[in-house]
């Protein structure tokens, strides 16, 4: 065959051309039919952008319906550090921005901007807030000359506002910009309509306190806007818009009036005592302390004070590393630690409640069992001597008088009698010690009440810190007065006294009372989404022959010859009798820890108040004085009918 003939060559060319057209048509059919849906999505994505708008967080109310956390709109100017790297004359840009801000009511130094840009604790991928609450003039100027301010952004943002300032900051917590780590781990909640409360890289989240624990409730549903853009990514229109929806409101058991008095009394007493000498000559450092006020009828937290403290408003728009470091050391103590739930202290004589209950419940003593207290108790071989404070001699003492005058010798004797058993530890467990309370706040500590076996295990595990793992009679003797092998949190101590006050029910403390609809009131029952019901975590058996002698002993503490009588001089105990116990815990090389645990009124307890003050001296002169000032508010509420029970009725 002659393959060079023109006819054959044209036939071969025709076949090639036909094959090309077939392939082209096949490709067009594939793209237009099979791939059409996916390509349509890609084309839409190329001409639209999704813009998320943060929703206002839910408000927070106190027990009586007062707004203690609200929202407001703030104009914020920021700098995108990644875009700033592309700017040729970086220094000139920052200088011009400082000039604009200063000239329009938001004075700022170039050095301040540089310091904020260099903060290492903020997410490097997010824009850095430079100025908050700027004026509209600033925004107009930056908008008008946007090309002159590359990397500079601005936005209207809802920020938290605190009508009562720093009050209850340790309870409320604070908010901050989400970090990359949190963004990876956080699980978004859903609103009542089932819409997910999504997060973006610049979202605001709860970082501590109620803001953190109830993040899913307080967070609102972000607004979603689908914006049309041109090829230069400039907005040209809006395809759809879903407005933001506020988060749920929350009502607390916290009474802001009681909270303010607790914080004020605590700080003022610490300031008075700091630098003075206690009776044995030790100088009081008085750096920190806490107060807990509980409702013994259901475990509601009425006040939870911790000193030193901080202003959550400082965190609302971003806090500098310098200021954060300052808060870590105020008079030698960190303001960012909530000592009411994380502080661990020897309870001292406030623990005698537990020791007395253990001895009475197990038949080792009755109300009349007495010994002669000559100021010293001797145990062991070789003999160890344990004394009363100041070697005070109380003569014939039974459990009632032993509690009233706080005879250590009487309780040393009880501890000696219960040596070789776990009777004291078992009673402590029943009252809720040695485990977390389960309060609805983060970072709670547990404390411990060691047994012989636990002390040995601790020594085996940490031989350097606990070289002696043996249990001695002296350990049990000191445990009986709340020293040496025991530490508790102020909240645990308050819960134990609440259980005794209510007759033996151990409640889980809870700060939040109700979850409410967004933008609700606290007076309309239809606004309530959920009520946080009381949770019983245990019971203490307190028959009359056990509870009666202890109550009698504690009633005498605040009057007559009681150890706290001086703190309650002039307080009307006929109208509002206080039942309590002082505590003074020794700390090596420092002034004593002062404690006071109490409840009132005596016959129908509505409040439990405990105070713990570090390096502040004896119980009555420090914590007792603080507690008395809190009861002045509580007694006034009770006597005027201003107290509100958690069921919404008047006390």
pLDDT in tens, 559-580: 999 999 999 999 999 999 999 9
Q: Return d(Cα 149, Cα 87) in angstroms, integer.
A: 9
- What phi, psi does 617 have (nearest 5°)? 100, -155
112 or 612: whose pLDDT is higher? 612
Asked if residue 490 has pLDDT above 60, the reply is yes
Residue 57: exposed, middle, or buried by beta-carbon count in 10 A (0-12, 13-18, 19+)?
buried
Contacts (Cβ under 8 Å, ≥6 apart) of 90: 84
Least confident window among 518-522, 543-547, 624-628: 518-522
* 490-502 helix and 352-361 helix, angle to the nearest 10 degrees: 40
Asked if residue 622 has pLDDT above 90, the reply is yes
Mean predicted confidence (pLDDT) in 269-284: 94
- Looking at every residue in the chain, the average pLDDT score rounds to 88
Instruction: Locate the domains of the chain by residue range.
Output: 77-122, 256-640
pLDDT over 70, % of the chain: 88
pLDDT category, 124, cuts 50, 70, 90? low
- Which of 640, 578, 571, 626 is closest to 606 using CA atoms? 578
Contacts (Cβ under 8 Å, ≥6 apart) of 257: 64, 633
Q: Return d(Cα 636, Cα 626) in angstroms, integer.
A: 16
Residue 375 contacts residue 391 (beta carbons within 8 Å): yes
Asked if residue 644 has pLDDT above 50, the reply is no
Strand partners, 493: none
pLDDT category, 82, cuts 50, 70, 90? confident
Q: Return d(Cα 468, Cα 464) in angstroms, integer.
A: 9
pLDDT (0 to 100) of residue 646:
41
Q: What is the length of the chain?
A: 651
Joined together, the tokens standing for residue 149 give 């301010």
Helix (H, G, I), strand (E, B) or coil at 590: coil
- Which of 134, 146, 128 is closest to 103 using CA atoms? 134
- Expressed in percent and rounded to 5, the helix, strand and coil fractions of the chain are 40, 20, 40
Q: Return d(Cα 281, Cα 508) in angstroms, integer.
A: 40
Residue 41: exposed, middle, or buried by beta-carbon count in 10 A (0-12, 13-18, 19+)?
exposed
Asked if residue 159 has pLDDT above 50, the reply is yes
- Which of 568, 579, 588 is closest to 607 using CA atoms? 579
Helix (H, G, I), strand (E, B) or coil at 247: coil
587 or 39: whose pLDDT is higher? 587
Considering 121-125, 241-245, 442-446, the range whose residues carry the highest mean pLDDT is: 442-446
Q: What is the pLDDT of residues 2-55, one digit of tens each?
A: 555 677 667 666 666 666 667 676 666 665 655 555 545 455 545 776 767 789
- Which of 304, 274, 280, 300 is closest to 292 using CA atoms? 304
Q: How far is CA 415 from the centre of its chain?
A: 36
> Which residues in 436-470 are b (16+ Cβ under 10 Å) and which e?
ebbbbbbebbebbbbbbebbbebbeeeeeeeeebe
Mean predicted confidence (pLDDT) in 452-472: 92
pLDDT (0 to 100) of residue 435:
93
Residue 600 contacts residue 623 (beta carbons within 8 Å): no
Residue 309 contacts residue 337 (beta carbons within 8 Å): no
Joined together, the tokens standing for residue 357 give 């209950």
Q: Please say whether the structural domain 256-640 has been given the CATH code 3.40.50.880.
A: no
SS (H, E, C) 90-155: HHHHHHHHHHHHHHCCCCCCHHHHHHHHCCCCCCCCCCEEEECCCCHHHHHHHHHCHHHCCCEEEE
Q: Return d(Cα 341, Cα 512) in angstroms, integer.
A: 16
Asked if residue 505 has pLDDT above 80, the reply is yes
Helix (H, G, I), strand (E, B) or coil at 62: coil
- What phi, psi does 425 have (nearest 5°)? -65, -40
86 or 599: whose pLDDT is higher? 599
Asked if residue 444 has pLDDT above 70, the reply is yes
Asked if residue 515 has pLDDT above 90, the reply is yes
pLDDT (0 to 100) of residue 241:
79
Geometric angle at alpha carbon 127, from 126 and 132, rounded to 5°:
130
Helix (H, G, I), strand (E, B) or coil at 172: helix
Geometric angle at alpha carbon 563, from 557 and 567, rounded to 5°:
90
Q: Return d(Cα 170, Cα 94) in angstroms, integer.
A: 37
- What phi, psi does 290 have (nearest 5°)? -155, 160
Helix (H, G, I), strand (E, B) or coil at 638: helix
Residue 645: exposed, middle, or buried by beta-carbon count in 10 A (0-12, 13-18, 19+)?
middle
- Which of 591, 602, 598 is closest to 623 using CA atoms? 598
Mean predicted confidence (pLDDT) in 233-247: 77
The continuous run of DSSP H or E covering 215 comes out as: helix 215-218
Q: Got the DSSP string for 609-622?
A: EEEEETT--STIII
Residue 511 contacts residue 254 (beta carbons within 8 Å): yes
Q: Return d(Cα 389, Cα 478) in angstroms, integer.
A: 13
Asked if residue 648 has pLDDT above 50, the reply is no
Mean predicted confidence (pLDDT) in 212-225: 91
Residue 302 contacts residue 255 (beta carbons within 8 Å): yes
pLDDT (0 to 100) of residue 141:
82
pLDDT (0 to 100) of residue 34:
56
């Amino acid at each position: 065959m002659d393959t060079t003939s023109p006819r054959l060559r044209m036939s071969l060319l025709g076949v090639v051309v036909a094959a090309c057209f077939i392939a082209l048509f096949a490709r067009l059919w594939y793209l237009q039919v099979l791939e059409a849906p996916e390509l349509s999505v890609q084309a839409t994505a190329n001409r639209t952008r999704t813009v998320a708008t943060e929703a206002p967080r839910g408000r927070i109310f106190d027990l009586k319906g007062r707004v203690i956390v609200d929202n407001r709109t703030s104009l914020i100017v920021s700098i995108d550090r990644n875009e700033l790297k592309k700017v040729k004359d970086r220094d000139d840009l920052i200088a011009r921005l400082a000039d604009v801000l200063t000239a329009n009511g938001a004075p700022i130094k170039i050095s301040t901007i540089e310091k904020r840009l260099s903060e290492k604790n903020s997410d490097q991928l997010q824009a850095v807030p430079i100025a908050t609450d700027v004026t509209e003039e600033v925004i107009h100027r930056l908008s008008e000359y946007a090309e002159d301010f590359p990397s500079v952004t601005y936005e209207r943002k809802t920020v938290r506002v605190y009508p009562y300032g720093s009050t209850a900051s340790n309870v409320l917590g604070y908010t901050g910009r989400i970090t990359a780590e949190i963004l990876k781990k956080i699980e978004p909640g859903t609103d009542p309509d089932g819409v997910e409360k999504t997060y973006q890289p610049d979202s605001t989240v709860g970082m501590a306190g109620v803001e953190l624990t109830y993040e899913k409730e307080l967070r609102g549903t972000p607004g979603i806007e689908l914006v049309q853009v041109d090829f230069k990514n400039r907005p040209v229109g809006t395809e759809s818009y879903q407005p933001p929806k506020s988060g749920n409101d929350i009502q607390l058991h916290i009474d802001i009036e009681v909270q303010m008095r607790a914080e004020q009394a605590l700080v003022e007493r610490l300031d008075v005592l700091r630098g003075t000498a206690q009776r044995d000559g030790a100088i009081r450092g008085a750096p920190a302390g806490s107060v807990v006020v509980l409702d013994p009828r259901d475990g509601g937290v009425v006040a939870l004070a911790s000193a030193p403290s901080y202003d959550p408003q400082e965190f609302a728009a971003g806090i500098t590393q310098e200021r954060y470091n300052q808060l870590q050391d105020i008079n030698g103590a960190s303001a960012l630690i909530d000592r009411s739930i994380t502080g661990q202290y020897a309870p001292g004589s406030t623990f005698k409640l537990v020791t007395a209950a253990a001895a009475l419940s197990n038949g080792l003593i009755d109300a009349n069992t007495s010994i002669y207290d000559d100021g010293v108790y001797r145990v062991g071989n070789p003999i160890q001597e344990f004394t009363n404070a100041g070697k005070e001699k109380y003569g014939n003492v039974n459990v009632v008088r032993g509690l009233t005058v706080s005879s250590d010798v009487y309780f040393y004797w009880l501890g000696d009698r219960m040596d070789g058993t776990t009777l004291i530890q078992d009673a402590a467990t029943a009252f809720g010690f040695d485990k977390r309370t389960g309060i609805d706040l983060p970072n709670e500590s547990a404390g411990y009440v060691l047994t012989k076996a636990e002390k040995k295990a601790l020594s085996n595990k940490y031989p350097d810190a606990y070289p002696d793992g043996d249990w001695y009679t002296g350990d049990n003797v000191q445990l009986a007065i709340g020293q040496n092998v025991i530490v508790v949190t102020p909240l645990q101590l308050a819960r134990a006294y609440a259980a005794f006050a209510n007759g033996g029910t151990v409640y889980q403390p809870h700060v939040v009372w109700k979850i409410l609809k967004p933008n609700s009131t606290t007076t309309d029952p239809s606004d309530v989404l959920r009520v946080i019901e009381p949770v019983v975590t245990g019971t203490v058996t307190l028959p009359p022959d056990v509870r009666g002698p202890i109550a009698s002993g504690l009633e005498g503490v605040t009057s007559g010859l009681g150890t706290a009588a001086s703190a309650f001089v002039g307080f009307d105990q006929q109208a509002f009798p206080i039942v309590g116990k002082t505590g003074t815990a020794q700390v090596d090389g420092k002034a004593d820890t002062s404690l006071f645990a109490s409840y009132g009124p005596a016959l129908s307890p509505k409040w439990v108040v405990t105070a713990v003050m570090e390096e502040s001296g004896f119980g009555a002169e420090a914590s007792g004085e603080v507690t008395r000032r809190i009861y002045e508010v509580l007694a006034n509420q009770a006597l005027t009918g201003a107290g509100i029970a958690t069921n919404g009725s008047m006390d």
